[in-house]
Structure 1
Amino acid sequence: MIKKEDVYKIGILGKPHGVRGEIQFRFSDDAFDRCDAEYLVLELEGILVPFFMEEYRFRSDEVALIKFCDIESDEKARELTGTEVYFPRALAEENTETLSWAQIIGFSLVDSGTGKCIGKIASVDETTINLLFEVTTEDGKDLLIPANEDLIKGVDAEKKTIKIEIPEGLLEL
């Protein structure tokens, strides 16, 4: 059985494309292409299920048209519309030296000065000119921490931690 901690979300399936079972896939991480993966993991009714890919082609930098094995009609593809798509962490980590922003969701953010855990990264906000980590603290408080390269002091993918230099006074805001 595939566990949620063994995968990370890379996108969501959209509407069918054509009549032979192809479906739009809006992705935030192209790990499936970089790692030459054979399958993606879909969440169906709370269960993570591997779906093997027959073929895919890029439509843009954020959308691919994908054909899964055994999905032969637009009706079958339509049943998958809105389904969240995940990628195996182990496969991504063995085939790449750098982590994508999607892979670090769930990592602990640690203050490099004090060694204290600030919280877990809930998401990465790329909508502004400055990249931000959206962090949830242990007491449930939400924080925005700049994800500037100069502030990041170390990443440990095995321990799922990122050490960051916190600008003075930032945590008091």
Structure 2
Amino acid sequence: MVKDRILVGCFGAPHGVKGEVRLKSFTNDPSAIAAYKPLLDASGARRFTIKALRHLKDDLFVARVAGVDDRNSAASLTNIELFVPRDMLPEAADEEFYLADLIGLTAMSEAGDAIGRVVNVLNFGGGDILEIAPVEGGETLLLPFTKDVVPQIDVAAGRITVALPIEIDGEAHNAVDK
């Protein structure tokens, strides 16, 4: 995730032989992805223009992309994430934020102790996951981004409050009734 760009979608597999490609939209209104310009790859070097969009289901579409006219060209787009420059998007309203805003925030325990720093927001299909680099170093923590685990977010103050799940904070006990 890049802070100066916001992830809005991802190309999938080709659809047919005429250069169409599947497109998963991450925007609030999924069909609005066609209106965002420019759409960039993760490096910002490649630009994409959606010429036509056909709804398949939920947030999944079939897209016609400028300059993509055959199946091989469409296949070359598979898994390319689509970003929009941050300054092209509206400011988040009160109590709202973009996931990119979380990167760099300090993760604090409910007691006020620093746990680490948010280094990424991931999503493998089952919901958003915060990747937190612990203060003491070592492996990053992967925590579900839910209201139970992250009850408070204060982007302006640069911190989130984290209620570590029992499995992580070490308080889980395997009690066996005898």
TM-score, normalised via structure 1 length: 0.66
Q: Paired residue for 1:77, among 74, 77, 93?
A: 74
What is the distance in 2 between the residues matched to 1:168 and 1:84?
Answer: 31
Shifted more, 60-69 versus 131-140: the winner is 131-140
- Tell me the CA shift for residue 122 of structure 1: 2.6
Q: Is the 8 A contact 2:54 2:63 kept in 1?
A: yes
C-alpha contact (below 8 Å) 1:109/1:121 kept by paired residues: no
Aligned to 2:49: 52
CA contact (8 A) 1:71 1:77 kept: yes
Can you give the 5+ residue segments of structure 2 that lack an aligned partner in the other structure? Answer: 171-178
Give the Cα–Cα distance (whole angstroms) in 2 for the partners of residues 140 and 165 of structure 1. 18
Question: What SS does the corresponding residue of 2:46 show, helix, strand or coil?
Answer: strand
Q: Which one has a bigger Cα radius of gyration?
A: 2
Structure 2 residue aligned with 1:122? 120
Q: Distance in 1 between matches of 2:27 and 2:164?
A: 32
SS of 2:112's partner is: coil
Distance 1:47 1:168 in 2: 37
Aligned partner of 2:73: which letter?
Answer: K
Give the match for residue 176 of structure 2: none
Aligned to 2:83: 86
Cα distance, 1:162 vs structure 2:
4.2
Write the deviation string for residues 68-109 of structure 1: whole angstroms up to 9, x where unpaired.
2222232322222232332333333x16533355x4563424
Contact 2:16/2:71 (<8 A) preserved: yes
- Structure with higher strand content: 1
Corresponding residue for 1:137? 134
Mapped to 2, the partners of 1:41 and 1:34 lie a distance apart of: 16
1-side partners of 2:50 and 2:165: how far apart?
48
Distance (Å, rounded) in 1 between the aligned partners of 2:55 and 2:92: 21
8 Å contact kept, 1:110–1:116: yes
Farther-moved stretch of structure 1 (83-92 vs 104-113)? 104-113
Q: Distance in 2 between matches of 1:169 and 1:49?
A: 44
Distance 1:87 1:38, change over 3 A: closer
Give yes or no for the alignment of 1:14 onto 2:20.
Answer: no
Percent identical pairs in the alignment equals 15
Conservation of the 8 A alpha-carbon contact between 1:21 and 1:77: yes
Q: How many equivalent residue pairs?
A: 162
Partners of 1:115 and 1:34 lie apart in 2 by 41
- Give the drift of 1:37: 0.9
**In 2: Cα distance, 1:74 partner to 1:164 partner:** 47
Backbone CA RMSD of aligned residues:
3.7
